[in-house]
Structure formats: structure tokens, C-alpha cells
Amino acid sequence: MIVKLSLIILGSSFTGDNFVSTTISGFKEVREEDKSQLVGNVFTNVASNYDLMNDLMSGGLHRLWKERLVSKLNPFPGMKHLDVAGGTGDVAFRILETVNSETEIYVCDINPNMLNVGKKRAVERGETKSLIWAEGDAEALDFPDNSMDGYTIAFGIRNVTHIEKALVEAHRVLKRGGRFLCLELSHVDVPLLKQVYDYYSFSIIPAVGELVAGDRESYQYLVESIRRFPPQDKFALMIADAGFQKVEYENLVAGVVAIHSGLKL
């Protein structure tokens, strides 16, 4: 069964006779084997300004959304946790703030530039003991079966080439009783707000990216990738298809973002 909650927080193509497997990167159709490189280039370009741009694009709300994600995770001392696409460490640091240093948090990201930002922040914060940084692919995690108590991915799953594979991998690495949590930009369900949000997304965000980071194209991709991401109900079904039970989601700011969760039983 899939449960929907709501919460408002203020503040295939052919080439000749050959079938070519394609995917969508932003609004552009590309070969599947090229998407990871294209996405990698985007995050290489934005890594140094990633946190600043998150603040500007969300008005600082991304901090509240991540706090909500961690509160739903309900971390406990001694847990072994995997944060995927978490290169800058934002989610990992929040988990550490709620538990002691006995906890092992693995921060996995496919982009080394994002990981370098996180490692630098960890040194500055003096939080290095409990954090293990790993370069890796969400679709092929280098972690044993049934090894993690929790799995989080924030603003990352829409960028993987095969979302289904990433979900199956999440299920594989979790222990029985382990919880999957995904925070992702999603689809607004209030018509008037949707019009305002679309204007802001396509007109303002790329312009801010150009002004602050000198990179309009990367932020144009980020906006377009949100619109290509499955709606909340469909994504919930994908999570259930990967083997998770008690799948539910919670809309924040009328669906600007959503937190999906599931249990491995």
C-alpha cells in the first residue's frame, strides 16, 4: 500500500537498421551510455557553488527539507548508514548531529569534485572519524548485501540513468528492517503555484546560475531534469517494485519537493 501525506513548510530511437537505447537528460534525448558523463560534467561545473546555489534557489528551504529527511530517518547510535549522491556532506553532517561518533556514515557520490567539497567541509568541522567517503555509482554500489541500517539520497536519484537499478541496489544493501528515504524535487499539485513555480524554475534559476556561478547551461539542465522525473505516485510504485514495503511519500511546499520512504522487511 502506498500512502500519500502532505506538509507545507514555509520559509526509443533507430539509426539505420539498429535500435539505439536512449534516455532523457534534461529535455534532451541522449544515448544511455552518455548520460552519466553529461550529468558528471554538470556536477563538476557546479560543485564549488553547489551549497550557495541551493540556498539561493530554495531561499534556504533546502536546509529545512534535509532536516525533515533526517528526522524521518530517526538515526540511532551505532547505526551503519549510506548516503548516496551526498558528496557535499549536507545530509551526513545532519545525521551526525543527532547521534554520537560510534555511527558509521558512508557518503557515496559518483563525482569526485562533489566528494572533495564534502571532505573539505568535514575537516573544517572536525568531523572525520565517523565519515567514510566513497566514489561510486548508485546503480552498482560497492557495498555488501544486507550491510546498512539506513539509506538516504537527496536531490540525486533523478540524475541516475536507470532509476530502477538504483532502487534495487538500495534494497540490496539494506538490512532487514532498514529504511530507504529519498528527498527529491518533484511535481507541484496546486495549479496557481505550479504556474509561478514553472516561471521561477525556467526563467529565474538559470539566470541566477549564470550570474553567481557563471554557468547557465548546468542549471538549465537541473531544472529540466526535475520536469522529467516521475510524478510522486509513479515513483512510489517504482520503489515498491524494487521490493520495499510500507512505501509512502510526503509532499513539502505543495509538491515542490517530496520525501519518499520504504522499508526492507
> Using N-to-C axis directions, what is the helix angle for 50-58 and 61-73, rounded to 10°?
100
For residue 77, which phi and psi values (nearest 5 degrees)? -60, 135
Q: How far is CA 203 from CA 193, 213, 259, in A?
A: 15, 16, 26
Contact 126, 192 (CB under 8 A): no
Cα 159-5-65 angle, rounded to 5 deg: 50
Q: Count CB atoms within 10 A of the CB of residue 216.
A: 15
88 is in an annotated binding site: yes
**Three-class SS state of 24:** strand
109 is in an annotated binding site: yes
138 is in an annotated binding site: yes
Grid cell of 156 as nine digits: 540525486
CA dihedral 192, 196, 197, 200 (to 10 degrees): 180
How far is Cα 105 from Cα 83, in angstroms, rounded to an integer?
A: 7
Q: Could you tell me which residues come within 8 angstroms of residue 191 by beta carbon, excluding any fewer than 6 positions away?
A: none
Secondary structure letter of residue 231 according to DSSP: P
- Sign of the torsion formed by the C-alpha atoms of 236, 239, 243 and 249: negative
Secondary structure letter of residue 232 according to DSSP: H
> Using N-to-C axis directions, what is the helix angle for 50-58 and 32-46, rounded to 10°?
90
Annotated binding site: 88, 109, 137-138
> Which positions make up the binding site for S-adenosyl-L-methionine?
88, 109, 137-138
